[in-house]
């Protein structure tokens, strides 16, 4: 799907897929978040998965914070993370 207001879609998607390939294995699910037990297992610390953090940094550097985050949403939708009606 080509979004009229997303002229860099091909470049952004190619970059996102390159990051995913570098951080994951096609045979396994790639999580959005990683967790770490803290406080004797009573609490957990959540952080973005390394691929997601790299993708966000790259998009903000390329497009600025606001537009980079908008494009992140579009990329995640294209990757199937979010349903089109919810994105």
Closest CA to 8 of 66, 63, 48: 63
Q: Could you report the per-residue pLDDT of 57-83, keeping only the tens digit for each?
A: 999 999 999 999 999 999 999 988 766
Q: With 60 as the cut, is the pLDDT of residue 87 above it?
A: no
pTM as predicted: 0.74
Q: Mean per-residue pLDDT for 37-66?
A: 88
Range list of H helices, the chain: 9-23, 50-63, 65-78
- Per-residue pLDDT, 74: 93
- Calculate the average pLDDT of the chain: 83
Q: Could you report the per-residue pLDDT of 1-36, keeping only the tens digit for each?
A: 445 689 999 999 999 999 988 887 655 566 777 777
């Amino acid at each position: 799907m080509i979004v009229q207001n997303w002229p860099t879609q091909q470049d952004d998607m190619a970059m996102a897929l390159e990051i995913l390939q570098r951080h994951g294995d096609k045979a396994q699910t790639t999580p959005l978040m990683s967790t770490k037990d803290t406080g004797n297992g009573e609490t957990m610390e959540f952080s973005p998965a390394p691929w997601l953090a790299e993708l966000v940094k790259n998009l903000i550097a390329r497009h600025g914070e606001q537009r980079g985050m908008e494009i992140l949403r579009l990329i995640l939708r294209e990757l199937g993370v979010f349903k089109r009606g919810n994105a």
